[in-house]
Amino acid sequence: MKTVPFDEALTRYEPVIGLEVHVELGTQSKMFCSCSTNFGAAPNTQVCPVCLALPGAMPVANRAAIESIIRIGLALNCSIAEWCRMARKNYFYPDMPKDYQISQYDEPICTDGYLDVTVDGKVIRVEIERVHMEEDTGKLTHSGGATGRIHGADYSVVDYNRAGIPLVEIVTKTVVGTGALAPAVARTYVAELRDLMRALGVSDVKMEEGSLRCDANLSLNRPGDPWGTRTETKNVNSLRSVERAVRFEIERQAAVLDDGGRVHQETRHFQEGDGTTAPGRSKEQAEDYRYFPEPDLVPIAPSREWVEKLRLTLPELPSVRRARLAEAWAIGEFEMATLVNAGILDIVEETVAAGVAPDAARKWWSGEFTRAASERGVEPADLPVTSADIARVEELIASGALNDKLARQVFEAVLAGEGSPDEVVAARGLAVVSDDGPLLEAIDAALAEQPDVAEKIRSGKLQAAGAIVGAVMKTTRGQADAGRVRELLLERLGVEG
């Protein structure tokens, strides 16, 4: 596929982006029935007459889902409709049991909001057109065939566990004037939304499990010209992919336009492997979804009192919180982004609240525990170690009872289920040797083994002391306080420290 280098493309064209993000809500039950929404259950075990669309079954809206979408709308500064209806979107597809999706059409529950994102120190306001409620489809798996799609497959199987899970669609207005920042704006917007959903507690927003999905719309136009024809790129399953997909479409569409060609209005699929986009199945004619108000459901008419009550439950916005914590912990934007991307901001904050110094809390969580979590394939916060454990270990370090190396051993044991830090210290005998007697013995032995080093130190080359201290630490299996060993060594040799 022909492309134009990104920077060059931007010398001739202005990108216009638009993003549609689907968020699966983390409600206990589905949107229109009481089936569980747990991820990963055996296929077709979380189904009932309603979500299988058996003849006669009827939907009933999930109040918790309506509550969640109103909170999302409020957090995105939207107006909340006083009265709106669900609508049927009609089309035949085997992953959709009713052959229509219950969604919203011209009466979305939330409209006209915005979300500010910061890219390269610049605040960009992304305007939100609408936030509406709908239900997810089942999941098709195609076997055989080259494309992994339904056409050409030998057979396909469908799992309706996902059918009817509440889905919120957040649609931006077109975002113009971002120029070369367009890919980063797209990525940052999705990241910001993800953090917002997490802060609201409405979804686990795991892109890899599909609980947050993004479609990226992009068009190019020459400066001063009307907007160009847009493409919609689907299958964008990570933050990195959002950025790459927008970037690639800029490079591809620029090449098409440079050649005097026309960009086709189409759906494209992002290819994780090479970072390109490929056209989806072209539709012979435009889909006509024949939307009409869902007659099986009563209108949604949230009272103003309810909306205001929900407004009071809004958490601090992620951007505000990040700024507050960065200041309190004296860290920069980059360090903060590292914590956010690793998904450990909450747990670090909790650890600091337990009395641990911010630097230490960050160090343990982004180092030791992130590594342990990735080895075990769990989230850091789900490790069997508590903020209280970390606070206790830090206390032991501060009192000199543990050093850094021993502390790591303590945590290894805690993670292995050997008990609390105090229990591990007692059981393994992990304590800094604080009795000078054994230390002096070890120092004398080391000096006897390395007389040349002893001579150097005596002659004032203090940096040579490290070799003796190292040897002592080795013989005491790390349980000595290196500072104390150095003091004793210099004393022994009659040298001023």
Partner 1 sequence: MSLIRDNASVLASAIAEGEVSSEEVTRAHLDRIAAVDERVHAFLHVDSDGAIAAAKRVDAKRAAGEKLGPLAGVPLALKDVLAMKGQPTTAGSKILEGWIPPYDAAVVERLRAADIIILGKTNMDEFAMGSSTEHSAYGPTHNPWDLDRIPGGSGGGSAAALAAFEAPLAIGTDTGGSIRQPAAVTATVGVKPTYGAVPRYGLIALASSLDQVGPCARNVLDTALLHAAIAGHDARDSTSINAPVPDVVAAALNADVRGMKVGLVRELSGAGYQAGVQQRFDEAVAILTELGAEVIEVSCPHFEYALAAYYLILPSECSSNLARFDGMRYGLRVGDDGSRSVEEVMALTREAGFGPEVKRRIMIGTYALSSGYYDAYYGQAQKVRTLITRDFTEAFEKVDVLISPTAPTTAFKIGEKVDDPVAMYLNDIATIPVNLAGNCAMSLPIGLAPEDGLPVGLQIMAPPMGDDRLYRAGAAVEAALVDRWGHLLIEEAPAL
Q: Closest distance between partner 1 and the C-beta of residue 104, in Å?
A: 16
By C-alpha distance, which of 156, 111, 102, 106 is closest to 133? 102
Sole binder of partner 1 in the list 97, 113, 164, 380 (CB under 8 A): 97
Which amino acid is residue 323, in one-letter code? A
Q: Closest distance between partner 1 and the C-beta of residue 286, in Å?
A: 9
Residue 18, strand partner residues: 217
Residue 54 binds to partner 1 (criterion: CB under 8 A): yes
Cβ atoms 78, 131 nearer than 8 A: yes
Residue 64 binds to partner 1 (criterion: CB under 8 A): no
Q: Closest distance between partner 1 and the C-beta of residue 139, in Å?
A: 14
Q: What are phi and psi of 495, to 5 degrees?
A: -110, 145
Place of tokens 């795991």: 206
Sole binder of partner 1 in the list 208, 284, 288, 496 (CB under 8 A): 288
- Rounded Cα gap, residues 152 and 160, in angstroms: 22
Q: Closest distance between partner 1 and the C-beta of residue 233, in Å?
A: 25
Residue 99 binds to partner 1 (criterion: CB under 8 A): yes
Sole binder of partner 1 in the list 264, 281, 290, 376 (CB under 8 A): 290
The region of 76-84, 112-120, 285-293, 489-497 touching partner 1 under the rule CB under 8 A is 285-293
- Rounded Cα gap, residues 314 and 310, in angstroms: 7
Q: Closest distance between partner 1 and the C-beta of residue 42, in Å?
A: 18
The region of 15-23, 266-274, 293-301, 356-364 touching partner 1 under the rule CB under 8 A is 293-301
Sole binder of partner 1 in the list 58, 320, 378, 445 (CB under 8 A): 58
CA 429 to chain centre: 40
Q: Closest distance between partner 1 and the C-beta of residue 158, in Å?
A: 8
- Rounded Cα gap, residues 253 and 189, in angstroms: 22
Q: Closest distance between partner 1 and the C-beta of residue 289, in Å?
A: 8
The region of 46-54, 383-391, 394-402, 429-437 touching partner 1 under the rule CB under 8 A is 46-54
The region of 98-106, 122-130, 229-237, 373-381 touching partner 1 under the rule CB under 8 A is 98-106
CB nearer to partner 1: pick between 99 and 209: 99
Cβ atoms 264, 254 nearer than 8 A: no
Strands 166-172 and 212-221, bridge-based pairing: unpaired
Task: Classify burial at 293, counting beta carbons within 10 Å of its beta carbon; exposed 0-12, middle 13-18, buried 19 or more.
Answer: middle
Task: Number of residues interacting with partner 1: please give it, by CB under 8 A.
Answer: 31
- Rounded Cα gap, residues 126 and 77, in angstroms: 11
User: Which residues inside 123-162 make contact with partner 1, applying CB under 8 A?
Assistant: 150-151, 156, 158
Residue 57 binds to partner 1 (criterion: CB under 8 A): yes
By C-alpha distance, which of 107, 66, 62, 32 is closest to 302? 66
- Rounded Cα gap, residues 477 and 482, in angstroms: 12
Which amino acid is residue 393, in one-letter code? V
Q: Closest distance between partner 1 and the C-beta of residue 160, in Å?
A: 9
Sole binder of partner 1 in the list 5, 94, 144, 201 (CB under 8 A): 94
Sole binder of partner 1 in the list 29, 77, 90, 450 (CB under 8 A): 90
Sole binder of partner 1 in the list 30, 85, 98, 244 (CB under 8 A): 98
Strands 122-135 and 166-172, bridge-based pairing: antiparallel
For 16-61, the DSSP string reads EEEEEEEEE---SB-SSS--B--TTPPTT-S--TTTTT-TT-----
Cβ atoms 45, 35 nearer than 8 A: no
Q: Closest distance between partner 1 and the C-beta of residue 212, in Å?
A: 29
How many Cα atoms are found within 13 Å in the side-chain-facing hemisphere of 365? 33
The region of 250-258, 292-300, 403-411, 487-495 touching partner 1 under the rule CB under 8 A is 292-300
Sole binder of partner 1 in the list 55, 121, 377, 451 (CB under 8 A): 55
Cβ atoms 373, 454 nearer than 8 A: no
Residues in contact with partner 1 by CB under 8 A are 49, 52-61, 88, 90, 92, 94, 97-100, 150-151, 156, 158, 288, 290-292, 295-298
